[in-house]
Amino acid sequence: MQTHKPSASKASDRPAGREGEAPSGYAGGGGDASPYKRMKAIEIRHLKKTFNEKTVLENLTLDVEEGEVFGMLGPNGAGKTTTIRTILTLLKPSEGQVKVWGHDVETQPREVRQVLGYVPQEKAVDRFLTGREHLTLVADLYHLGKTEARKRIREVLELVDLTQKADDLVNSYSGGMKKKLDIACGLIPDPKVLVLDEPTLGLDVESRIRIWEYIRRLQHAGLTTLMTTNYLDEADQLCDRIAILDRGRLVALGTPEGLKKGLGGDRVTIQFGPQQDRLEELAGSLRKELPFVNEIKVSPASHELEIRVTSNEEALAPLIQAIHQHRHPILAIQYSRPTLEDVFITYTGHKIKEDSALL
């Protein structure tokens, strides 16, 4: 597979590129000799979608940058599938505009489909065909010539480590191998943008990690990837940026690290004995005395203080010392860094898999 200079794994670590420098492009799409400028792979502006007068997407605006892995998070009914189907030209916007690689999904659907690869959530494989036969069928659907088809099939089989199993019936494949074949099918047209819908849903841990490796490998080859997932660890590990959708609205957008930092720092939970009834007074004193304290929540029923601090573990010693100076015996201390689950709960008010009944 033809590749160029690889990209780093995180958008924040990748150089913007110097004028005249060759792009870290995926094998597809050709290109020219003009100075490289990173473009918007996907542009969504004020997207609204209604079904039978019910709004399922409201004023969605975001960009997916060329070369990044972009994640969309949200419970069932958040609007992820509607957004994906609109990008794929399967739905028309009720309002707003969506462009893929500069092409409008309404007025230029053919051009949009020519730059997209899609891997659906459901395994789109026939157990009575071999892996190679699946890929040949997909190549025929894209009207690839025999020589080009053989070349692409060889490349994608190598990419997803299925060369040795290419001529085995898919009926003999494990769940992880079937998902790898699905990804290979999505890569046959040599897309500029790959859309992955829940790429590791239902897979065991080892298979999930393998799929992560392939997604990283594709990014290093310059491919832009848009993925939906309900696995927060997956989004944290893979995605340069994420969008959190809830009830049809965009509620958060940014890098995983940036969103976690935006919660106000690490969390220190301190539990006191039931005889300690002056926790509000203690919280007020700590706010005044300790500059690294961002926020304190008092829980009288559980005799706890939840304290957000900005100075990581370095805050523990002066924090404990200050509490002792106020003569408040400590029963237990728990220290934790913000997670994407904390981010999700903060912006939506519920866990990601709590609400599955929404449209």
- Tell me the pLDDT tens digit for each residue of 265-288: 888 999 998 876 789 999 999 999
* CATH no. for 264-337: 3.30.70.100
| DSSP secondary structure code for residue 312 in this structure | G
Separation of alpha carbons 121 and 189, rounded Å: 19
Phi, then psi, of 86 in degrees rounded to 5: -70, -45
Average pLDDT value over all residues in the chain: 85
User: 7: alpha, beta or left, given left = phi > 0 and alpha = psi -120 to 50?
Assistant: beta
Report whether pLDDT(34) > 90: no
Which residues does 178 contact at the CB level (< 8 Å), separation at least 6? Answer: 123, 125, 170
- The arithmetic mean of pLDDT across residues 115-123, rounded, is 89
Mean pLDDT value of segment 324-330: 90
Average pLDDT over residues 14-23: 30
* Main-chain dihedrals φ then ψ at residue 184, nearest 5 degrees: -60, -40
Decide if 81 contacts 92 (C-beta within 8 A). Answer: no
Output the six-digit token pair for 118: 């899609």
Average pLDDT over residues 159-163: 91
Alpha-carbon torsion (162, 163, 166, 171), positive or negative: negative
How far apart are alpha carbons 257 and 56 in whole angstroms? 29
pLDDT of residue 57 exceeding 70 = yes
Does the structure show a pLDDT above 60 at 66? yes
Q: Quote the percentage of the chain above a pLDDT of 90.
A: 66
Range from 17-31, 53-67, 177-191, 330-344 carrying the lowest mean pLDDT: 17-31
Domain boundaries, the chain: 1-115+193-207+218-257, 126-190, 264-337
pLDDT-derived band at 355 (thresholds 50, 70, 90) equals very low
CATH number of the structural domain 1-115+193-207+218-257: 3.40.50.300
Q: How many CA atoms lie within 13 A of 294 on its CB side?
A: 13
Per-residue CA distances from 125 to 1, 129, 169, 175 (Å): 24, 8, 10, 11
| Dist CA 81 CA 76 (whole Å) | 9
**180-216 pLDDT, tens per residue?**
999 999 999 999 999 999 999 888 888 899 899 999 9
Does residue 106 surpass a pLDDT of 70? yes
What pLDDT does 32 receive? 38
Per-residue tokens: 232:
């927060």
100-109, 261-270, 327-336, range with greatest mean pLDDT: 100-109
Residue 338 has pLDDT above 60, yes or no: yes
1-115+193-207+218-257 and 264-337 in the same fold: no
Rounded to an integer, what distance in angstroms lies between the CA atom of residue 215 and that of residue 236?
A: 14
Q: How far is CA 313 from CA 53, 63, 256, 318, 319, in A?
A: 52, 36, 21, 10, 10
Which residue, 116, 102, 107, is CA-closest to 197?
116
Q: What is the pLDDT of residue 77?
A: 87
Under a CB-based contact definition with an 8 Å cutoff, are residues 35 and 245 in contact? no
Taking residues 44-50, report their average pLDDT: 97
| Single-letter amino acid code for the residue at 223 | L
Mean pLDDT to the nearest integer, 245-250: 95
Predicted confidence at residue 300, as pLDDT, reads 87
154-157 contact pairs (CB < 8 A, 24+):
155/1, 155/27, 156/1, 156/184, 156/187, 156/188, 157/131, 157/132, 157/184
Task: Name the pTM for this structure.
Answer: 0.79
Q: Are 22 and 222 in contact (CB under 8 A)?
A: no
